Structure 1
């Protein structure tokens, strides 16, 4: 049974077990420069801390260093699939190399007000996918949250940094590949989950821009549920309009389009070419294997981490490494 009266282990406990002063414990665990502490003493302190399960107080560390080491990522209310999970894992690793800790909060502001979330943690950085209001930005800065980042913001705000992940470029790459393989009339398979609009709209805009740039017909937009029968209705309408290639919002929607193609007794890419986004594991197992556009999550995480670090230190952020981030994976569907 858990003892609810068990107190938190302190640096005094570590000092007592190691036979040193609390100052020595602080110097060792915080790797304070300029201290002449022997290897054996350092070893005793680290061993004692490990045996006691001692974890330094984040609040105390914030007071000592002048800033938090927490980066708070507020996720919108959208499904957390393999690509999002990989992005968060990569970003967590990249930030950890610089002594920063990533804390992720999924959901939306209706679940819990944004002020309650960041006030409970007081991070150094807040990353979100949507814009903050001017009031929210001012309140965070007043509380010492120096950096506020919008990944898919809609415009510059005082004290907020835009990262501008190139979702529009994803759509451009899709349409450019279809154009390069001879398609002149393009369709777009839009997701039926409204929570995905934050990604779907810029991707669709990229497809639209590429079609205009190359004088292609379209995009003819169909909302495609993850259902073969309903997807077949969209395929039927695309055929009636002369569409020969479809850019899908992501691989799951692309797989639904392929299912709709089979439902009508048609073949891809002969009757309808299909290209997705994300390169999920099942994409290579599709019939036919799915051509897709993918984001290099390790490169994206390095870019996000570098942007955060540059802003914390007051330096200009890096340019978006678009060429490295977005890659085409050629398979048989398009």
Structure 2
């Protein structure tokens, strides 16, 4: 076989032992950091030097068999579009877990009955976090797989990020900001992606509660298509009934601003607009988009630290939400 068709064989502990001139048992003790073994420091250093020079890396399946679990943490995500905010959360969580020797794997769970059970069988993860609470059946499959570090708690609570401040509280904050600007007739522009329907309703409920607390009518609820002409049609349907809009997120807000431009309308004079997530494009919109920002990276770090605490058998801190969720004031509202 020609050299360019040869496959590269992974370096094993047998290769390290042969190169170092030591027994396989000695090399295995060093590479696995086996406790209670009287191995001279010079021998340890020799094994590690040879392993590094040959490019040896531990074989994950074998390590899993020895320890009963892998060095993998799994984030189970709902079937949502994964945008800027979620990317920041996952990146920061991966960093914190990586510093502790764990690899983060994300899995989008669309709700199939045995999907998670197959995942546990394939990965045997050390820890699992769910963006939504797990069902009793899903928790039982994790118990059978020997996964003990599972968050959030079994009962839905404020720590459930799909129903927490991350959803309802942002809609409320949007509405409170617009009400504080003197607006009394609000609308909520909801996403037209069916995967986001529940999240859109959650944010709209938060806005409606803020209006109720202020003694104002409930916001007009409208789904906003992500096409300029269709968005313009929604804006036109509001006519003079609305003076300000809580957009589900910045993408919806940008579509709304584009629809307004086709009608010759401008924010905030004709219609004030506030988005959510503070994506990079928000500051470059015309006008620049007022939005709600949140420290999603810090949220990811807190989730990761909670999983690590659970792995150590401690009581994890379950306050995942960032300390700072605030309105970024720009020109659109």
Does the TM-score normalized on the shorter chain lie above 0.5?
A: yes
Task: Indicate yes or no: 2:308 matched with 1:309.
Answer: yes
Q: CA deviation at 1:132?
A: 2.9
- Counterpart of 2:287 in structure 1 is 288
Query: Which runs of 5 or more structure 1 residues have no equivalent in the other structure?
Result: none
Native 8 Å contact 1:12 1:22 kept in 2 = yes
SS of the residue aligned with 2:239? helix
Cα deviation for residue 3 of structure 1 reads 4.2
Map 1:251-262; keep pairs closer than 5 Å: 251-262=250-261
| Number of the residue aligned with 1:232 | 232
Structure 2 gap segments, 5+ residues each = none
1:239 Cα offset (Å): 3.2
Specify the SS of the correspondent of 1:269. Answer: coil
Mapped partners of 2:122, 2:282: distance in 1: 40
How much does 1:217 deviate? 2.5
Structure 1: distance between partners of 2:159 and 2:126: 16
Q: Which residue number in structure 2 is paired with residue 170 of structure 1?
A: 170
Report what 1:135 is aligned to: 137
| Offset from partner CA, 1:194-214 (integer Å, 9 cap, x none) | 111343232222212222222
1:261 offset after TM fit, Å? 1.5
Q: Does 1:222 align with 2:222?
A: yes
2:83 to 73, 81, 84: 81
Q: Structure 1 length normalisation: TM-score?
A: 0.86
* Stretch moving more, 190-199 or 54-63: 54-63
1:140-168 alpha-carbon deviations (Å, 9 max, x no partner): 10110113335xx9x717xx995435322
Q: Which residue of 2 aligns with 1:200?
A: 200
CA deviation after TM superposition for structure 1 residue 8, in Å: 4.1
How does the TM-score come out when normalised to structure 2?
0.86
Q: Which moved more, 1:49-58 or 1:187-196?
A: 49-58
Residue 272 (1) aligns with residue 271 (2): yes
Q: Which moved more, 1:52-61 or 1:160-169?
A: 160-169
How far has the Cα of 1:215 moved from its partner?
A: 2.2
For residues 328 and 8 of structure 1, do their structure 2 counterparts lie closer, same or farther at Cα, with a shift above 3 Å needed?
same
Partner of 2:331: 332
Q: How many residues of Structure 1 are paired with residues of Structure 2 in the alignment?
A: 327
Partner of 1:244: 243
